[in-house]
């Protein structure tokens, strides 16, 4: 994109000063851009700044590559130094350049602090090569001396501007920086380009040319194509859910969990990061779950089991029904998955002995098919030997025990007690409310308190 | 030879035919669109978050970060050759892990909090024990032939990695060997995300495709297309039924696994920068997407509208993460700082 915008067209803005060779004012550049491209001044400034930041034009008395819409003087970069040549200058080049600058006795070529630091660093890095670098720098200086004085001035400034792009002043953003993961594909001509001017594509974006043919042409051999057909057949057989149902389910999910999302609903009593008050974390860690938390256990079996307190309550409920073996089996298998390899075989056997063997103390109800498969798996016990059995038991719990749990007294009581607690709090005396709000900081009551204090 | 060639041609035609049928099936279920359905949903309004913490300590570009399961600790990786583990509540640095190779691109925290993994241009995933007195290298997982772009622990015994060699891999940490190799992508894998139940994971790659895989079997279960450039970031919607992707083509997209197609895209004509990273709020209602334009933009997942922006970084936002308790969001940038917002 830089090639299209920079370069020749702008060059026609003529330079005029005699003493300072080949310059142009920032204002002139902006004006020219506005006239030639028919754009507004803000757009022209933006574009001009972009061009400057890439190094196509530069201020002659500054190291910072930006454009000012005033009398500041700018110069155009020599085509040799254009970024479009995809320069990736090596540190040896930079070393030669800095070295060269120290050899010439001119104040305008004196090194800035950061440049002196860089030079020192490079000298250490290239210790063995330094003689070579020094010689190169000397040769460069000799050649430069032969050039015309004005020409030299221009060239020096252009060279400096080049290095401002590739070795920017600390604090400036290096526009040449690429994500290293994408670096090796930089020269790929098929890379999708984005519009610099914010022009949006009308209609659906077209497939990048490299992707479509590549996708299909990769499968070369007969085997590959057959595999592809198999894959596609599975895809076709898959039952696709209607979009309306999908939308319904996604909306439903977010609506249900919205009150638990601290970004949407401020958590009770406060978001610790905002108020610097850890009471929210203390409450979460305590053995007394909030009503909101108990309610969440009713959303799904996953939620109940995810929360250690919920899991605990569910287990106690099942124990009261003498049907806890399913959950205990499920928990044992979860634990097995995290065991170190050396313990796995033994644990797997222990689980079999406890839950599945003939005359086991806590027999679980597994269908014959899963039973067969599991016992087969145990011939070579591994962390996932019980995967199928676990799934089966999970579904049993979900369809049977879980719904009874939600209707049970032990759950309902907890849910309602929590609710009762919050209404209790409403009836607390105003003094208690006062002290609570003082402790928990930023709240609406805080404002009222100040009002109270002022009036008294 | 000619006969075989003709057979392959016939099979290829069959492929094309099947693909057309799949497209038709997808169109058939497209009986409505997300935007229409969500028009009835209450708007979240303008989401204005404040910066709560500035984590300074890295000396070079931050490439990756990951929250610990306790929602308190967080690990970040920078090209200054260090991993830093932070206590986000106090802002203190707890552990500094020096890396053998400074070209790090990914970092992950194990759910137990005992282990941390990192990798990058060295093509290896190195796992460190950070609970020891000083961080000790536990394993060096060396088998990928391309850079390591992303890694995620399933537990202290298994880890998933995504690589520039176009494959993803499940490793056994006790033996240090590969258990399952996931091949199907034809471009560098840039990012992966594990489903909450750990039975499957999704990957995004430079071939502009997102794929769903079965962790145990190693098979690619579904493929999602639509992006026109590299997918850099990918995440599961909390219900596990949908996925969100972010790409260099400046768009984010939501695909539903059950409908097997794109449900919504998140695009703004004013946004010309590629998406580098993304994270969802705990209900899934908000998407925090980091862009090359130095900002993190916030999207309403259901309505597809931009509802906020996190500005403050001086260079591109390279990583974004929301902890499990959902209390805030962390952004990491090439400007070497991490910021916490809520």
pLDDT of residue A108: 64
Query: What is the overall mean pLDDT for chain B?
Result: 93
Residue B162: pLDDT above 90?
Answer: yes
Chain A: residue whose CA lies nearest to B188 = A181
Residue A191: list chain B partners with CB under 8 A. Answer: 229
More confidently predicted of B299 and A106:
B299
How close is the nearest chain B Cα to the Cα of A14, in Å?
A: 33
Q: Please judge whether A243 and B328 are an interchain contact, meaning their C-beta atoms are less than 8 angstroms apart.
A: no
Q: Which of residues 275-314 of B touch A (CB under 8 A)?
A: 276, 281-286, 301-302, 314
Q: Please judge whether B241 and A249 are an interchain contact, meaning their C-beta atoms are less than 8 angstroms apart.
A: yes
**Residues in chain A, pLDDT under 70:** 1-22, 85-88, 105, 107-109, 171-176, 184-220, 418-456
How close is the nearest chain A Cα to the Cα of B278, in Å?
A: 16
The complex's ipTM? 0.91
Chain B: residue whose CA lies nearest to A210 = B207
Residue B299: pLDDT above 90?
Answer: yes
pLDDT of residue A446: 37
Q: Please judge whether B228 and A229 are an interchain contact, meaning their C-beta atoms are less than 8 angstroms apart.
A: no
Residue B302: list chain A partners with CB under 8 A. Answer: 250-251, 254
Whether B94 contacts chain A with CB within 8 A: no
Q: How many CB atoms are closer than 10 A to CB B209?
A: 22
pLDDT of residue A107: 66
> Can you tell me the mean pLDDT for B266-292?
94
More confidently predicted of B35 and B199:
B199
Q: Please judge whether A182 and B230 are an interchain contact, meaning their C-beta atoms are less than 8 angstroms apart.
A: yes
Q: Choosing among B170, B283, B284, which should be mutated to test the A contact, i.e. which has the most A CBs within 10 A?
A: B283
Q: Is the peptide bond before A382 cis (omega within 30 degrees of 0)?
A: no
Q: Which of residues 145-174 of A touch B (CB under 8 A)?
A: 173
Say how far apart CA A256 and CA B160 lie, in whole Å.
Answer: 31
DSSP H/E element including B36: helix B34-38
Whether B102 contacts chain A with CB within 8 A: no
How close is the nearest chain B Cα to the Cα of A201, in Å?
A: 9
Whether A271 contacts chain B with CB within 8 A: yes
pLDDT of residue B131: 94
How close is the nearest chain B Cα to the Cα of A223, in Å?
A: 9
Lowest-pLDDT range of A155-159, B44-48, B314-318 = A155-159
pLDDT of residue A185: 61
Whether A109 contacts chain B with CB within 8 A: no
Residue B263: list chain A partners with CB under 8 A. Answer: 243, 246-247, 250
pLDDT of residue A166: 80
From A200, A229, A247, residue closest to B269, measured CB to CB: A200
How close is the nearest chain B Cα to the Cα of A208, in Å?
A: 6
Whether A247 contacts chain B with CB within 8 A: yes
A35: burial class by Cβ within 10 Å (0-12, 13-18, 19+)?
exposed
Whether B190 contacts chain A with CB within 8 A: yes
Whether B265 contacts chain A with CB within 8 A: no
Residue B53: list chain A partners with CB under 8 A. Answer: 273
Residue B146: list chain A partners with CB under 8 A. Answer: none
Q: Please judge whether A180 and B242 are an interchain contact, meaning their C-beta atoms are less than 8 angstroms apart.
A: no
Residue A255: list chain B partners with CB under 8 A. Answer: 41
More confidently predicted of B149 and A198:
B149
Whether A253 contacts chain B with CB within 8 A: yes
Q: Please judge whether B37 and A205 are an interchain contact, meaning their C-beta atoms are less than 8 angstroms apart.
A: no
Q: Please judge whether B19 and A232 are an interchain contact, meaning their C-beta atoms are less than 8 angstroms apart.
A: yes
How many CB contacts within 8 angstroms connect chain A with chain B?
A: 226
Whether B109 contacts chain A with CB within 8 A: no
How close is the nearest chain B Cα to the Cα of A103, in Å?
A: 32
Residue B50: list chain A partners with CB under 8 A. Answer: 274
H, E, C per residue of A240-253: CCCHHHHHHHHHHH
Q: Please judge whether B37 and A341 are an interchain contact, meaning their C-beta atoms are less than 8 angstroms apart.
A: no
More confidently predicted of B42 and A288:
B42
Whether B28 contacts chain A with CB within 8 A: yes
From B157, B164, B270, residue closest to A181, measured CB to CB: B164
Chain A: residue whose CA lies nearest to B243 = A250
pLDDT of residue A212: 32
- C-alpha Rg value of chain A to the nearest Å: 37
How close is the nearest chain A Cα to the Cα of B153, in Å?
A: 12
């Amino acid at each position: 994109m830089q090639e299209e915008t920079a370069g020749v067209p702008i060059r026609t803005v003529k330079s005029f000063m005699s003493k300072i060779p080949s310059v142009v004012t920032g204002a002139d550049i902006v004006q020219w851009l506005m006239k030639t491209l028919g754009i507004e001044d803000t757009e022209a400034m933006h574009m001009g700044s972009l061009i400057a930041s890439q190094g196509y034009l530069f201020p002659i008395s500054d190291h910072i590559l930006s454009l000012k819409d005033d009398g500041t003087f700018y110069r155009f970069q020599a085509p040799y130094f254009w970024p479009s040549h995809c320069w990736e200058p090596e540190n040896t080049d930079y070393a030669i350049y800095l070295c060269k600058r120290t050899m010439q006795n001119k104040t305008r070529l004196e090194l800035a602090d950061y440049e002196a630091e860089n030079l020192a660093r490079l000298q250490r890095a290239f210790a063995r090569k330094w003689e070579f670098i020094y010689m190169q720098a000397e040769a460069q200086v000799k050649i430069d001396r032969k050039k015309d004085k004005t020409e030299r001035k221009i060239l020096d400034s252009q060279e400096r501007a080049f290095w401002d792009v590739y070795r920017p002043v600390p604090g400036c953003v290096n526009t040449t920086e690429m994500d290293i993961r994408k670096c090796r594909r930089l020269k790929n001509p098929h890379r999708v380009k984005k519009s610099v001017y914010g022009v949006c594509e009308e209609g659906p974006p077209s497939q990048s040319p490299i992707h479509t043919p590549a996708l299909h042409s990769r499968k070369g051999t007969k085997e590959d194509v057959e595999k592809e057909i198999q894959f596609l057949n599975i895809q076709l057989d898959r039952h696709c859910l209607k979009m309306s149902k999908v939308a319904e389910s996604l909306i439903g999910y977010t609506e249900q969990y919205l009150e638990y999302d601290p970004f949407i609903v401020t958590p009770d009593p406060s978001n610790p990061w905002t108020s610097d008050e850890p009471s929210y974390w203390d409450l979460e860690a305590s053995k007394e779950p909030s009503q909101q938390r108990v309610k969440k256990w009713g959303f799904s079996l996953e939620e109940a089991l995810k929360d250690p307190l919920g899991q605990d309550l569910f287990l106690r409920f099942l124990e009261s029904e003498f049907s806890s073996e399913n959950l205990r089996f499920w928990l044992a298998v979860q634990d097995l998955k995290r065991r170190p390899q050396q313990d796995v075989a033994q644990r797997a056997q222990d689980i079999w002995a406890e839950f599945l063997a003939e005359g086991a103390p806590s027999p679980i109800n597994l269908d014959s098919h899963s039973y067969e498969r599991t016992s087969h798996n145990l011939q070579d016990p591994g962390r996932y030997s019980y995967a199928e059995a676990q799934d089966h038991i999970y579904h049993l719990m979900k369809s049977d025990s879980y719904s009874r749990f939600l209707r049970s007294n032990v759950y309902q009581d907890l849910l309602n007690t929590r609710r009762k607690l919050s209404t209790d709090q409403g009836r607390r005396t105003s003094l208690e409310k006062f002290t609570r709000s003082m402790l928990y900081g930023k709240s609406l009551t805080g404002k009222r308190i100040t009002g109270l204090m002022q009036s008294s | 030879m000619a006969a075989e060639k003709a057979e392959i041609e016939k099979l290829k035609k069959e492929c094309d035919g099947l693909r057309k049928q799949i497209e038709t099936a997808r169109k058939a279920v497209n009986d409505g669109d997300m935007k229409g359905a969500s028009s009835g949903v209450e708007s979240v309004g303008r989401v204005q978050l404040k910066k709560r913490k500035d984590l300074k300590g890295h000396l070079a570009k931050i490439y990756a970060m990951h929250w610990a399961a306790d929602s308190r600790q967080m690990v970040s990786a920078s090209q200054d050759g260090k991993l830093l583990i932070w206590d986000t509540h106090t802002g203190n640095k707890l552990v500094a892990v020096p890396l053998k190779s400074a070209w790090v691109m990914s970092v992950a925290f194990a759910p137990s909090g005992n282990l941390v993994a990192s990798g990058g241009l060295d093509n290896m995933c190195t796992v460190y024990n950070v609970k020891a007195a000083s961080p000790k290298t536990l394993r060096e997982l060396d088998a990928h032939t391309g850079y390591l772009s992303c890694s995620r622990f399933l537990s202290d015994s298994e880890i998933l990695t995504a690589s520039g060699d176009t494959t993803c891999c499940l490793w056994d940490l006790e033996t240090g060997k590969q258990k399952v190799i996931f091949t199907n992508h034809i471009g560098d894998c840039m990012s992966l995300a594990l489903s909450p139940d750990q039975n499957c994971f999704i990957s995004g790659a430079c071939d502009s495709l997102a794929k769903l895989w079965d962790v145990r079997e190693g098979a690619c279960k579904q493929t999602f297309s639509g992006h026109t450039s590299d997918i850099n970031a990918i995440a599961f919607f909390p219900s596990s039924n949908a996925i969100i992707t972010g790409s260099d083509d400046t768009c984010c997209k939501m695909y539903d696994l059950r409908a097997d197609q794109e449900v919504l895209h998140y695009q703004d004509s004013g946004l010309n920068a590629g998406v580098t990273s993304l994270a969802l709020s705990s209900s899934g209602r908000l998407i925090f997407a980091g862009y090359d334009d130095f900002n993190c933009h916030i999207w309403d997942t259901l309505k597809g509208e931009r509802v906020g922006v996190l500005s403050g970084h001086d260079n591109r936002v390279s990583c974004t993460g929301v902890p499990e308790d959902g209390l805030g969001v962390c952004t990491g940038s090439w400007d070497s700082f991490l910021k916490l917002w809520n």
